[in-house]
Amino acid sequence: MMRTPYRALSRVRRAAGVTLLELLIVLMIMAFVTAVVVPTFGGGGVSTADLKSATREVASGLRYARDQAIAKRAESLLVIDLDARTFSLPPDAHLHKLPEKLELKLFTAQQDLVSEKVGAIRFFPDGGSNGGRITLAAGERKFDVDVDWLTGRVAILE
């Protein structure tokens, strides 16, 4: 007679437990909800993916300007407008838009500053440059796009 209550108790304990599969499903749902909700309500207004994408776009524009200077054997520039958050590669009039809430800083040669908020990074036919740095930031996250003055090499730094 003692065995029956023990068996009933062990069945209740077994039924009250959580399987590993159920736990994994709950964790996956929580991860999905977090991945969707956090970027929507997170601070800064610019997601990390948008910040990285904008940084790569600026670096790509700089590399293109360098390649054009070498190919055409003439100086080439990337002009950046910090207030409008755009950049262009003259003589092409197309403006490349960057995210609105992105913070931009430009460090370049004094001769290539058009105004306080507009400047350029210049590339020479030998591949060199006047050098400089464009900083893209959103809250605490930031990336620097460096241009080496001697070689014109473009590098993204975190």
Cβ neighbours of 115 (radius 10 Å): 9
Q: Where are the domains of the chain?
A: 3-41, 48-157
Q: What is the mean pLDDT of each run of 10 residues along the chain (158 residues)?
A: 56 69 92 79 71 93 94 94 91 88 90 90 94 91 92 91
In the block, tokens 């599969």 appear at 21
Instruction: For domain 48-157, say whether CATH 3.90.220.20 is its number.
Output: no
- The reply to whether the predicted model has a pTM over 0.75 is no
- Integer Rg of the chain from CA: 27
* Number of other CB atoms surrounding residue 22 within 10 Å: 10
Quote the distance between the C-alpha of residue 142 and its chain's center: 8
* pLDDT score at 5: 58
d(CA 156, CA 59): 7
